[in-house]
A and B are shown apart, each in its own frame.
Chain A
Amino acid sequence: MAKPASRVEMPAQVVIALAGNPNVGKTCIFNNLTGAHQHVGNWPGVTVEKKEGRFAYSGETVRVVDLPGIYGLGAYAEDERVARDYLLSGEAGVVINIVDATNLERNLYLTVQLLEMGANVVVALNVMDEAEARGIKIDTDKLGRLLGVPVIPTVAPKKQGMAELVAAAMQKARTPGAPVRITYGREVEEELAKLETLVAGYPALSGRFPPRWLAVKVLEGDEHVLREIEGFAGIAAQQRESSARLEAVTGQDAESLIVDGRYGFIAGILKETVSRRKTPEERITLSDRIDRIVTHRVLGIPIFLAAMWAVFQFTFTLGDPLIGYVETFFEWLGGLAGARIANELLASLVVDGIIGGVGSVLVFIPPIFLLFLAISFLEDSGYMARAAYIMDRLMHALGLHGKSFIPLLIGFGCNVPAVMATRTLENKRDRIITLLITPFMSCAARLPVYVLFVGAFFAQRQGLVIFSLYLLGIVIAILMGMLLKALFFKGEQAPFVMELPPYRLPTIRGTLIHMWERGYSFIRKAGTIIFGVVVLVWLLSNIPWGAPIEQSVIGRLGQFMAPIYAPCGFGTWEAAVALFFGILAKEVVVGTLGVVYGVGEEGLTAAVTQHFTPLSAYAFMAMTLLYIPCVAVIGAIKRETDWKWTGFAVAYTLVLGWVVAFLIYRCGKLLGLG
């Protein structure tokens, strides 16, 4: 990596970056290398997920940074920019480029760009078993020689080739070799030489970027790079001159010439190293057979709905008995604590406040983890991409395309990563519409509220009623998407291009790690925000000490707000307080009710039946679903947009929630339901 000598210090530890296309088994290799020693965070400044891990190699600690899955190092998508900036920073001493052996041509396009950038690459030639099964023969030694880097065959799920991969990477970290140079033919090379000389003349540029790479990117017309060179006299002029000359001489634009050059280089390599029995487009794989049914014009949507139904059945059928165990545990804990603490005030804080409040939220860990497990399974198996394909037509009605559907689906787990996942949408208009409707997806945190009320009022039809709330969120999202499009975003649509990875049976370990990453963030939230909130609620409901709860600070606050909700059927101060604190995190609605009714989670169902009717309970659930997203989501929306859109998101969801709850309650009344 080209960087000023002054910045090169003795590296305290080896840092390996993992780069590769999506769906090539990168995550699996990351898990194999680092095991449980992982840490998920964000890349600075953006909300693209950053995964880091470490492992020990003959006494040394090696750090592994997992870059986002990317197809190239262009400037259009946020995740490609993140990967590029990280590689240019020079932090990683070596880059393991994971390559899908069954789709070499496309995968090597990224490899070539990594090499051009001067990255110190080791190639992991993954999915070797499938390549062999398809009759693709690859001469790995020769491939390595032609690329000028070590090439290690691997089968990630079976952990084959991992030791060799690590050894090669460590070796490469100590003795980086000279990378091969991709040449673009005489005409292009002449122009590149001029640009490179110009770039090399500016230490401010050549210190930050390898000059040859910058020259290629400038000639290619990479928007991000063009902005970087704006202040440097002569480069932009030379770029225009070079492009014009190339176009005149070759009849093609510079961008195409460079793309052709890269693919030409790849084609040359493939010709010498790969042989196969059958031409690829004649092969009909098992995935194709499955796709014929799953993405069928008529069957696709019913199959998708059935899959969602199965996910909910799985979650609740398995989750319900587990909830019982957790409940019993907290009851036991509360009894134990109550008996040991002599001080009445302290006992109330611990038993009613902390154990009661946090406990009433933590009982929902089983269904939340099961839901994340199911979503992770669908994602890792490849079905999620098909869901996006199936939904593309429907999403077009909202002026979005199928890719926007993935954030919405993740929203069923948690709205925060869902809002973050809108980053994969390339165009701002799509991003904003998608993230404004994402909060209507019933996230796992709404579940505790649904489970409580549905258990109390609709015990006979739990699955159906909960399903109807999920559906309500989807319908509202569709209507709002159409409205937002009509109001603010008329006009063009972003291109929809998405790889459909072959179906794979997810590994148990991979799916569990995936589930844990997501579930853990919920537990962490329960441990911090929710803990703080329940203690605050307990405090507010006990000031002044000894007064009945309706005369406490919180009681007065609720009484003040209750009339606003009266037309919706839940104009009690307890409900008002619960909704108020629910903004901090939706599951807190349950915890707050537990505290204000002065019962633990075991008595909550009974308490709720006294204060609500089935109709007002449904209106209340709709309100909980729709009104103001929780603070974490508001924060995520702010990071993705600006205060203007964030303020809009808060205001319009509040009004919408009230209106929908009002309509449900009033229409229900008219129909004689309550």
Chain B
Amino acid sequence: MAVLPLGLLAPGQGGLIKDIIGGRHVRCRLTELGFIPGAKVRVWQNQPWGPLIVSLGDGRVAIGRGVAQKILVEETR
């Protein structure tokens, strides 16, 4: 399966986080919220230009498009 930025998944699609690229600051923030390699995410909303809503476990997180491009995922379904 191809690895692609989370921002490219369509609503309803899920992914397995493979890597987080970007600076320490972004990574630290994402790590605390549970965005770590191996975690499963699912996109709930993904509109052109705007931020996304993704689910991580039971939690729902809004992330900006810029951040979503830094989370690399493997599409699961």
Cβ contacts under 8 Å, B26 to chain A: 495
Interface residues on A, range: 35 or more
Q: Is A161 an interface residue (CB 8 A)?
A: no
With A495-B64, A496-B66, A497-B63 as contacts: A392 and B51 at CB distance below 8 Å: yes
**Which residue on A lies nearest to B59, using beta carbons?**
A103
Q: Is B21 an interface residue (CB 8 A)?
A: no
Interface residue ranges of B3-43 to A (CB < 8 Å): 14, 22, 24-34, 36-37, 40-42
Q: Is A401 an interface residue (CB 8 A)?
A: yes
Q: Mark A61-94, 1 if CB is under 8 A from B, else 0.
A: 0000000000110101000000000000000000
Q: Is A255 an interface residue (CB 8 A)?
A: yes
A495 and B67 contact, CB distance less than 8 A: yes
Q: Is A313 an interface residue (CB 8 A)?
A: no
Q: Which of A71, A106, A263 has the largest count of B CB atoms less than 10 A from its CB?
A: A106
B57 and A389 contact, CB distance less than 8 A: no
**Residue contacts A-B, CB under 8 angstroms, 15 given:** A109-B31, A109-B34, A223-B24, A256-B37, A281-B14, A385-B62, A389-B51, A389-B62, A393-B49, A496-B63, A497-B61, A497-B62, A497-B67, A499-B60, A500-B62
Tell me the minimal C-beta distance from B5 to chain A in angstroms.
14
With A74-B28, A259-B31 as contacts: A499 and B47 at CB distance below 8 Å: no
Q: Is A550 an interface residue (CB 8 A)?
A: no
A259 to B31, CA, bound (A): 7
Q: Is A287 an interface residue (CB 8 A)?
A: yes
Further contacts, 15 of them, CB under 8 A, given A291-B53, A297-B50, A493-B66: A71-B32, A72-B31, A74-B32, A76-B29, A106-B33, A109-B31, A259-B36, A260-B36, A280-B57, A280-B58, A288-B44, A295-B45, A426-B29, A495-B22, A495-B66
Cβ contacts under 8 Å, B34 to chain A: 105-106, 109
Q: Is A102 an interface residue (CB 8 A)?
A: yes
A500 and B61 contact, CB distance less than 8 A: yes
Interface of chain A, helix or strand or loop or mixed?
helix
Interface of chain B, helix or strand or loop or mixed?
mixed
B62 and A402 contact, CB distance less than 8 A: yes
**Which residue on B lies nearest to A498, using beta carbons?**
B62
A109 and B61 contact, CB distance less than 8 A: no
Q: Which of A392, A393, A495 has the largest count of B CB atoms less than 10 A from its CB?
A: A495
A57 to B24, CA, bound (A): 44
Q: Is A134 an interface residue (CB 8 A)?
A: yes
Of A76, A392, A496, which contacts B25 at CB under 8 A? A76
A283 and B58 contact, CB distance less than 8 A: yes
**Which residue on B lies nearest to A394, using beta carbons?**
B50
Cβ contacts under 8 Å, B33 to chain A: 71, 106, 497, 499
A288 and B51 contact, CB distance less than 8 A: no
**Which residue on B lies nearest to A276, using beta carbons?**
B58
A323 to B45, CA, bound (A): 45
A497 to B54, CA, bound (A): 11
**Which residue on B lies nearest to A285, using beta carbons?**
B58
Cβ contacts under 8 Å, B67 to chain A: 495-497
Task: Please report A residues at the B interface, Cβ cutoff 8 Å.
Answer: 71-72, 74, 76, 102-103, 105-106, 109-110, 134, 221, 223, 255-256, 259-260, 263, 280-281, 283, 287-288, 291, 295, 297, 385, 388-389, 392-393, 396, 401-402, 426, 493, 495-500, 502
**Which residue on A lies nearest to B25, using beta carbons?**
A76
With A71-B33, A288-B44 as contacts: A388 and B57 at CB distance below 8 Å: no
Cβ contacts under 8 Å, A102 to chain B: 58
Cβ contacts under 8 Å, A134 to chain B: 58
Cβ contacts under 8 Å, B61 to chain A: 497-500
Cβ contacts under 8 Å, A402 to chain B: 51, 62, 64
Tell me the minimal C-beta distance from B23 to chain A in angstroms.
9
A498 to B51, CA, bound (A): 10
Cβ contacts under 8 Å, B27 to chain A: 255
Cβ contacts under 8 Å, B60 to chain A: 287-288, 291, 499-500, 502
A297 to B50, CA, bound (A): 9
**Which residue on B lies nearest to A401, using beta carbons?**
B64
Cβ contacts under 8 Å, A71 to chain B: 32-33
A50 to B37, CA, bound (A): 35
A496 and B28 contact, CB distance less than 8 A: no
B55 and A281 contact, CB distance less than 8 A: yes
A297 to B59, CA, bound (A): 21
Q: Which of B30, B36, B59 has the largest count of A CB atoms less than 10 A from its CB?
A: B59
Of A256, A281, A295, which contacts B40 at CB under 8 A? A281
Cβ contacts under 8 Å, A281 to chain B: 14, 40-42, 55, 57
A295 and B53 contact, CB distance less than 8 A: yes
A495 to B67, CA, bound (A): 6
A221 and B36 contact, CB distance less than 8 A: no
Tell me the minimal C-beta distance from A146 to chain B in angstroms.
19
A71 to B61, CA, bound (A): 13
Q: Which of A103, A255, A283, A500 has the largest count of B CB atoms less than 10 A from its CB?
A: A500
Cβ contacts under 8 Å, A221 to chain B: 24
Tell me the minimal C-beta distance from B65 to chain A in angstroms.
8
A106 and B57 contact, CB distance less than 8 A: yes
Cβ contacts under 8 Å, A502 to chain B: 60
Counting from the closest, the 6 A-B pairs by CB-CB distance are A496-B64, A71-B32, A72-B32, A106-B34, A393-B50, A500-B60
B28 and A497 contact, CB distance less than 8 A: no
A573 to B22, CA, bound (A): 58
Tell me the minimal C-beta distance from A115 to chain B in angstroms.
16
**Which residue on A lies nearest to B49, using beta carbons?**
A393
Cβ contacts under 8 Å, B45 to chain A: 291, 295, 297
A393 and B51 contact, CB distance less than 8 A: yes
Of A76, A256, A259, A388, which contacts B62 at CB under 8 A? A388
Tell me the minimal C-beta distance from B44 to chain A in angstroms.
7
**Which residue on A lies nearest to B57, using beta carbons?**
A280
Of B32, B53, B56, which contacts A389 at CB under 8 A? B53
A495 to B21, CA, bound (A): 13
Cβ contacts under 8 Å, B29 to chain A: 76, 426, 495, 497
